[in-house]
Amino acid sequence: MSYQSFKKRTYEILEKGTPDDKWSHRVDVFIISLILLNILAVVLESVLAIRENYQQVFNYFEIFSVIIFSIEYLFRIWSITENKKYQNPISGRLRYLFSFYSLIDLVAILPAYIPFFIGLDTRVVRGIRILRLFRILKLSRYNKAFSHLKQVIQSTKEQLAISLFAVLMLLVISSTLMYYVENEAQPEAFSSIPATMWWGVATLTTVGYGDVYPITETGKLMAGVIAILGVGLFALPAGILANGFGSNLEHKEEKNHNDERPCFCKHCGKKIIED
Amino acid sequence: MSYQSFKKRTYEILEKGTPDDKWSHRVDVFIISLILLNILAVVLESVLAIRENYQQVFNYFEIFSVIIFSIEYLFRIWSITENKKYQNPISGRLRYLFSFYSLIDLVAILPAYIPFFIGLDTRVVRGIRILRLFRILKLSRYNKAFSHLKQVIQSTKEQLAISLFAVLMLLVISSTLMYYVENEAQPEAFSSIPATMWWGVATLTTVGYGDVYPITETGKLMAGVIAILGVGLFALPAGILANGFGSNLEHKEEKNHNDERPCFCKHCGKKIIED
Amino acid sequence: MSYQSFKKRTYEILEKGTPDDKWSHRVDVFIISLILLNILAVVLESVLAIRENYQQVFNYFEIFSVIIFSIEYLFRIWSITENKKYQNPISGRLRYLFSFYSLIDLVAILPAYIPFFIGLDTRVVRGIRILRLFRILKLSRYNKAFSHLKQVIQSTKEQLAISLFAVLMLLVISSTLMYYVENEAQPEAFSSIPATMWWGVATLTTVGYGDVYPITETGKLMAGVIAILGVGLFALPAGILANGFGSNLEHKEEKNHNDERPCFCKHCGKKIIED
Amino acid sequence: MSYQSFKKRTYEILEKGTPDDKWSHRVDVFIISLILLNILAVVLESVLAIRENYQQVFNYFEIFSVIIFSIEYLFRIWSITENKKYQNPISGRLRYLFSFYSLIDLVAILPAYIPFFIGLDTRVVRGIRILRLFRILKLSRYNKAFSHLKQVIQSTKEQLAISLFAVLMLLVISSTLMYYVENEAQPEAFSSIPATMWWGVATLTTVGYGDVYPITETGKLMAGVIAILGVGLFALPAGILANGFGSNLEHKEEKNHNDERPCFCKHCGKKIIED
């Protein structure tokens, strides 16, 4: 296989190829599995009993993952010139390096190389562990759910922004009022407006842990009114997203409806034309 | 009554017959009542005071139920050859045995026969008790609610899968972040990422029992942001299902609507008749 | 004023008359105010400090209310023969007596007369107090909100019934599973399946008081899965109702749209006819 | 620049001018920033540690803000006669003074001048601090979110009123019933119906702090039924608002849609042009 055709094949395999390209599919499945296993590893490693017994396994798996992800990263940069958008070997590759997906790939491996440059401080190691979580973002390249959700958020972003702004304003107003009402009776839980916002978030999202709540009568009355009126506002983003999903679905159905069923007149046999 | 016509009648009675078939209706009501009474029995038997006083009644009722359900099961297998889909006495019946509804019928009675084969270990008895709950699934054969709900889930399954995937990703990300933030201050409640997921589920579903919550300032800030942004995502499935119900309703209404508004062919002027 | 015209006038005033009938309007406002004051009285009388100081006022107000409501009740029965539906003085009035609104009117006053027939036992007095709350139902005759809500519930009742059935099934299944899982670790909180249903309701409605929650790892895992999957089902009725309101609104808007704006062609000036 | 043209320019700058009016835009940004900083100041000043160290900064910032907002207020009144609606120098300005936005501007500065008239009582100072929060309302002049939200509330106000009425009735009924059921077992938490309403709000909004909950079996049963049936009603306003947003979106989309699909007059065949 020539250098050029090898590069082209690499590009086909890494970027989503044709549906019947077996090797492209296998590599996709392998990388997706490795990402999911990495998430599982992050989760399991946090359990003391597991960490103590399998530390070595986690370390080997981490090294293995970083090697694979690094190879993937390099191969992608090398073969990206097959994409017409990034044709130029230098400027094209540079532009690709700063594209969304490429940056995610970099963030997924870079932290693992940090200890080679800076000393192995405990804080650094801790920070690196958290950054491994971002490997989850590598999934976004393969996942339909991500792109669908992105699309819904895109089409409702104006409404989401409006409701988020309203939510924040309501949070500030509610918390300020409650702070002035409850501060005297509970100087610790309602020590300041930012502290009262913890009550505000817990109440308006209806989580209601029960660690902070008003005890004065005025406070309860005000909290009641805020809850009844405010809960609806905090539930808005969910409703907007759900509607966004819904209207997406309906559009699809309508399209299918129109495309698939041409109708014919039972009397004269001609196609029925709607205005 | 001949053997053949008796089998045919059995089939008619057990499988939902014509609406005016009185005996089919009576047998349906009887079996549905027995299923509901079984659920009630499982629930009531768990109450110590009731169990102690009426143990014998529950035992007799269990024996009675198992006998009826076994007879029903055998009659179904015997008469199923009347169904064109399962016409062949051997291969047809075998295929029916492994159909969805038949397996549920089996699961509903099988556990009761286990003690005849294995010793009456307490653990076994306990397990059998739980399995009785699956008799509830026998209702799915008769219930319109089940089929309607199934239909709605079917038509929104893609959206539900997407939101469920997003929900799980959000849960993992939130819990990982909170684990790193709160672990030091509350090493027990936030002992590991899986443990922190208990906080995550309680918060993002807005249940908020209040047994675990952040106490550090960073933790509260992060929990607040997660709650405001995440609660909407966790409420998505509910909204999607509700929309699914809604659009089902609208389709029905539109159909009725169309019936009332006759349309006319633009070519010949005659009324358009849809199939 | 003759007997006949007085009866007719009484009927006009009590049943919602024409919009410009001043006396009908005044009587409506008076009765509605009296109902609202009765609700307020029930609420305020429950506060010890208020009850102790104003017991006499509450007693007088109760006597006054019962007298007015009794007069209203009698006048309604007397004048109902003016309604063509209840024209016959005996059989018509009897049918009216058992109509929905008339029964509510009776329930609103009857309890006050009980002490004349049975001894003034404390339990009786207590029961009577609760029954006064049903006077709230008298509002349903006047209130648009009631009729609108009734209409929405009517048009979505099939869906509501389905989701309510699904909700109850889920509650039974979740509680049974959690009972078997948590009963050993917390024999008191999860003492029986009905007791565990208290946990189930608190969790699936996302109220989450925090008085009962699983403590075993299996219990937490199961509770988490139940919460993520079940919360959506419990939120269904809300979504269905909201959609019902929404589609009602849209129908209205569409109607207004079509009725109010006839359009004209800019070229030939003739009215545009849509097919 | 002449007096007249200066007044006209002032009016253009303060009221939202043309999109390419640079100075109008700059003044808008400046005032919006000042409002947001004022909110931030209110929030931060409530934190003891910050208040102690930066009291002087907050005082200077308050004086600065009041001066700017006062100048803005006076300039607005002076230049408003450029608006045809308020052309008359005296009666026009008076009418403007009592317009919605003008009153908000007044409320935003007035409290700061109170100490000059009344003695500097601690209670007065406290009250003034709270009133500063209303400066947030000044944002409503500039903010699209406010106007959009207002529009949605406007178009769904009838439905919102109905559901709010239903919510309040349900709250009164639930709390009354629970009061009679739980009062004996928990005479403190369920001391009166208003006190029980605190439980009612926490339950029906699903906040569920966990400071009050039924402990008797009857109470738990009733609370369970209330929660299952009532939670849906309390979530209605959220659903109605979300639908309102959704239908707004759809209307827009339909409009765009219509633009793309030209219609033709049935009489003359020419394209129909809408205004």
Q: Which two tokens stand for residue B20?
A: 């005016």
Give the separation between CA D109 and CA D149, rounded to whole angstroms: 26
Tokens of C7: 């009866």
DSSP label of A265: -
Q: What is the pLDDT of residue B200?
A: 95
Q: Which of A193, A202, A235 sits opposite D46 (nearest CB)?
A: A193
Residue C252, pLDDT above cutoff 60: no
How many CA atoms, within 13 angstroms, populate the side-chain half-sphere of residue C45?
21
DSSP β-bridge partners for residue B271: B264
What local confidence, expressed as pLDDT, does residue B134 receive? 81
Percent of chain B topping pLDDT 70 = 84
CA distance C265 to D263: 11
Given a cut of 50, whether residue B256 has pLDDT beyond it is no
Specify whether the CB–CB gap between B34 and B62 falls below 8 A: no
Choose the closest CB to D242 out of A166, A224, A243.
A243
Q: Which of A70-84, B74-88, C137-151, C170-184 has the lowest mean pLDDT?
A: C137-151
Distance in angstroms (rounded) separating the CA atoms of residues A174 and A196 = 9
CA D127 to chain CA centroid, nearest Å: 20
Please name which of B256, B184, C187, B119 lies closest in space to residue C196, comparing C-alpha atoms. C187
pLDDT for C230: 87
For domain B146-255, which CATH number applies: 3.20.20.100, 3.40.720.10, 3.30.360.10, 1.10.287.70?
A: 1.10.287.70
What's the CATH number for D3-142?
1.20.120.350
Nearest to A236 among D39, D197, D238 (CB): D238
Q: Which residues pair with C271 in a beta bridge?
A: C264
Q: Which residues of C touch B205 (CB under 8 A)?
A: 206, 227-228, 231
Residue C172 has pLDDT above 90, yes or no: yes
pLDDT (average), residues D52-73? 92
Matching fold, domains D3-142 and D144-275:
no
* Angle, CA of B146, B147 and B152, to the nearest 5°: 100
**What CA–CA distance (Å, rounded) separates C253 from D254?**
14
Query: Is D182 a residue whose pLDDT tops 80?
Result: yes
Cβ <8 Å between C202 and D208: yes
Q: What pLDDT, on the 0 to 100 scale, is given for residue B257?
A: 45
Residues of chain A with Cβ-Cβ distance to B242 below 8 Å are 242
- For A207, which of B159, B206, B266 is closest by C-beta distance? B206
Nearest to C208 among A208, A239, A275 (CB): A208
The pLDDT of residue C274 is above 60: no
Mean residue pLDDT of chain D comes to 83
On chain A, the residues whose CB falls within 8 A of the CB of D144 are 162
Domain coordinates in residue numbering, chain A: 3-142, 143-275
Angle at C190 between CA C184 and CA C192, to 5 degrees: 100
The Cα A136–Cα A41 span in angstroms is 12
Q: Are A207 and B211 in contact (CB under 8 A)?
A: no
Q: How far apart are alpha carbons A183 and D126 in whole angstroms?
A: 12
A219, A189 contact by CB (below 8 A): no
CB contact under 8 A, B210 and D210: yes
Quote the minimal CA–CA distance from A182 to chain B in Å: 19
**pLDDT-based confidence at residue B244 (cuts at 50, 70, 90):** confident
pLDDT of residue A93: 92
Number of H helices, E strands in chain A: 11, 0
Can you give the pLDDT at residue B270?
A: 59
Size of interface A-C (CB pairs under 8 A): 10
Candidates D163, D228, D167; CA nearest to D201 is D167
Report which of C99, C105, C102, C100 is spatially closest to residue C134, judged by C-alpha positions: C105
> What does the alpha-carbon distance between residue A157 and residue D232 come to, in Å, rounded to a whole number?
27
Cα A98 vs. chain centroid, distance in angstroms?
19
Residue of C254, C255, C274 lying closest to C264 (CA atoms): C274
Taking only the tens place, the pLDDT of each residue in D195-218 is 999 999 999 999 999 999 999 999
Please answer whether residues D224 and C209 qualify as being in contact, where contact means their C-beta atoms are separated by less than 8 angstroms: no
Interval A223-243 mean pLDDT: 86
C-alpha D42/C-alpha D80 separation (Å) is 31
Q: For every residue of chain C, which 3-state class applies, written as one string?
A: CCHHHHHHHHHHHHCCCCCCCHHHHHHHHHHHHHHHHHHHHHHHHCCHHHHHHHHHHHHHHHHHHHHHHHHHHHHHHHHHHHCHHHCCCCHHHHHHHCCHHHHHHHHHHHHHHHHHHCCCCHHHHHHHHHHHHHHHHHHHHCCHHHHHHHHHHHHHHHHHHHHHHHHHHHHHHHHHHHHHHHCCCCCCCCCCHHHHHHHHHHHHCCCCCCCCCCCCHHHHHHHHHHHHHHHHHHCHHHHHHHHHHHHHHHHHHHHHHHHHCCCECCCCCCECCCC
Share of chain A above pLDDT 70, in %: 84
Tell me which of A168, A231, A275 to substitute to probe the interface with D (most D C-beta atoms closer than 10 Å).
Answer: A231
Indicate the range of A36-45, B253-262, D219-228, D243-252 predicted with least confidence.
Answer: B253-262
Structural fold of domain A143-275: Helix Hairpins (1.10.287)
Angstrom CA distances, D209 to A198, B206, B213, B242, stand at: 13, 11, 13, 27
* pLDDT confidence of residue B95: 92
**Residue range C44-81, pLDDT digits in tens:** 988 989 988 998 999 899 999 999 999 999 999 999 98
Q: How far is C81 from chain A (nearest CA, A)?
A: 45
Q: Which of B131, B161, B173 is nearest to B237 (CA)?
A: B161
Least confident of B188-197, C264-273, D224-233: C264-273
* Cα B196 to Cα B193: distance, rounded to the nearest angstrom: 5
Minimum-distance CB partner of B211 among C163, C177, C210? C210
What secondary structure does DSSP assign to A154-223, as a single string? Answer: HHTHHHHHHHHHHHHHHHHHHHHHHHHHHTTT-TTTTSSHHHHHHHHHHHHTT---SSS---SHHHHHHH
From A256-260, D101-105, D218-222, the region with the lowest mean pLDDT: A256-260
Query: D47, A159: Cβ pair inside 8 Å?
Result: no
- What is the signed CA dihedral for A3, A7, A9, A15, rounded to 10 degrees? 180
Residue B252, pLDDT above cutoff 60: no
Q: Give buried/exposed letters for A94-106 (b at 16+ CB in 10 A, else e).
A: eebbeeeebebbe
Q: DSSP code of B80?
A: G
Q: What are phi and psi of C231, to 5 degrees?
A: -55, -40
- Residues of chain C found within 8 Å of residue B147, distances taken between Cβ atoms: none
Rounded mean pLDDT of chain B?
A: 83
The answer to whether the CB of B35 falls within 8 A of the CB of B69 is no
Token pair of B105, please?
């019928």
D227 vs D213: CA distance, rounded Å: 12
- Which among A207, A209, A236 has CB closest to D241? A236
How many angstroms away from the CA of B61 is the closest CA of chain D?
A: 27
Instruction: Name every residue whose Cβ is closer than 8 Å to that of residue C142 and which is 6 or more positions away in sequence.
Output: C16, C28, C31, C32
The A-side interface with C (CB below 8 A) comprises 206-210, 239, 242, 275
Angstrom distance (rounded) from CA A169 to CA D237: 19
| Inter-chain residue contact A238 with B240, CB threshold 8 Å | no
Neighbours of chain B (3+ CB pairs under 8 A): A, C, D
ipTM above 0.90, yes or no: no
Give contacts of C166 with chain B, Cβ < 8 Å: 145, 149
Q: What DSSP assignment string belongs to D15-38?
A: S---TT-HHHHHHHHHHHHHHHHH
Residue in B with minimal Cα distance to C250: B250
Under 8 Å between Cβ of D222 and D180? no
Residue C126 to residues B1, C42, C44, D106, Cα–Cα distance (Å): 65, 12, 16, 53
Task: Using CA coordinates, name the residue in chain B closest to C197.
Answer: B43
What are the tens digits of pLDDT across the range A56-109?
A: 999 899 999 999 999 999 999 999 988 888 888 899 999 999 988 899 889 888
Residue B138: what pLDDT?
A: 83
Q: Residue C272 — φ and ψ, nearest 5°?
A: -80, 125
What three-state secondary structure class fits A20? Answer: coil
Asked if the model's pLDDT at residue A272 lies above 80, the reply is no
Q: For D123-180, what is each residue's pLDDT tens digit?
A: 667 677 777 888 888 887 777 667 777 888 888 888 888 888 888 989 999 999 999 8
pLDDT for position A259: 42
- Spell out which residues of chain C touch residue D245, defining contact as CB-CB under 8 Å: none
Rounded-to-integer distance, Cα C158 and Cα C268, Å: 50
pLDDT in tens, B118-141: 666 666 676 777 778 888 888 877
CA distances from D110 to B72, D41, D132 (A): 83, 18, 9
Report whether C274 contacts C254 (CB < 8 A).
no
Provide CB contacts within 8 A for A103, sequence distance 6+.
A97
Q: Domain D144-275 belongs to what architecture?
A: Orthogonal Bundle (1.10)
B-chain residue closest to A134, CA distance = B173
Q: Which residues of C touch A235 (CB under 8 A)?
A: none
User: What angle (nearest 5°) sits at the alpha carbon of residue B158, between those of residues B154 and B164?
Assistant: 110
Which pLDDT does position A122 carry in this prediction? Answer: 67
Residue C256 has pLDDT above 60, yes or no: no
Contact (CB, 8 A) for B215 and B188: no
Select the residue from B204, B236, B272 to test the A interface by mutation, using most A Cβ atoms within 10 A.
B236
Chain B residues whose CB is inside 8 A of the A164 CB are 228
Instruction: Check pLDDT > 50 for residue B274.
Output: no
* Interface chains of chain D (3 or more CB pairs under 8 Å): A, B, C
Of A145, A235, A242, the CB nearest to B243: A242
Question: Which phi and psi (to 5°) does residue D264 adopt?
Answer: -125, 145
pLDDT for the residue numbered B116: 73
Cβ contact C243–B239 (<8 Å) = no
Confidence of residue D268 (pLDDT cuts 50, 70, 90): low
Distance CA C160, CA C153 (A): 8
Q: Is residue C173 within 8 Å of residue B136, measured between CB atoms? A: yes
| Residue C49 burial (CB count, 10 A) | 8
Chain D residues inside the 8 Å CB shell of B208: 208
The terminus-to-terminus CA distance of chain C in angstroms comes to 57
| D236 contacts on C by Cβ (under 8 Å) | 238, 241-242, 245
Look at residue D40 in the predicted model and tell me its pLDDT.
92
Nearest Cα of chain A lies from the Cα of B172 at a distance, in angstroms, of 8
